């Protein structure tokens, strides 16, 4: 019975990851971090300008990190919701999710599902 829940959890979480805008958030944060590094390393930019630009870059990086965390929580919400209908309740579901075999199955099923799903869409 647990394996049916694991398969459903993997598919639901994978679909959520595919539909949420995770990559644009990651790209924006990474690009801003690169800009920030270039500004810091530049000898041609005055310290005064650095003091004005870096807080803005920090705000973008910080807010992007919080947004990314929120998107991850949304993507994993279907897995948590399955705990409400799991035999034994949420505590039993959480304990089951901590087993190494379940973690491996979740990862493998998710990777296989995403790979197949992307191949079918592009195919």
Question: Is pLDDT at 121 greater than 90 in this prediction?
Answer: no
pLDDT in tens, 54-73: 999 999 999 999 999 999 99
In this prediction, residue 25 carries a pLDDT of 96
- When pLDDT is cut at 50, 70 and 90, the band that residue 120 belongs to is confident
pLDDT band at residue 123 under the 50/70/90 scheme: low
pLDDT tens by residue, 38-49: 999 999 999 999
Q: At what angle do helices 2-19 and 47-82 cross, to 10 degrees?
A: 150
Question: How confident is the model over 73-87, as pLDDT tens digits?
Answer: 999 999 999 999 999
pTM strictly above 0.85: no
């Amino acid at each position: 019975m647990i394996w049916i829940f694991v398969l459903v959890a993997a598919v639901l979480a994978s679909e959520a990851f595919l539909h949420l805008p995770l990559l644009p958030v990651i790209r924006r944060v990474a690009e801003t971090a690169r800009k920030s590094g270039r500004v810091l390393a530049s000898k041609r930019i005055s310290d005064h300008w650095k003091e004005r630009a870096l807080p803005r870059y920090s705000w973008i990086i910080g807010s992007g990190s919080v947004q990314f965390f929120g998107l991850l929580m949304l993507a994993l919400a279907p897995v948590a919701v399955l705990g409400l209908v799991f035999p034994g309740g949420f505590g039993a579901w959480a304990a089951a999710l901590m087993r190494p075999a379940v973690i491996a199955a979740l990862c493998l099923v998710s990777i296989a599902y995403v790979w197949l799903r992307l191949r079918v869409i592009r195919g």
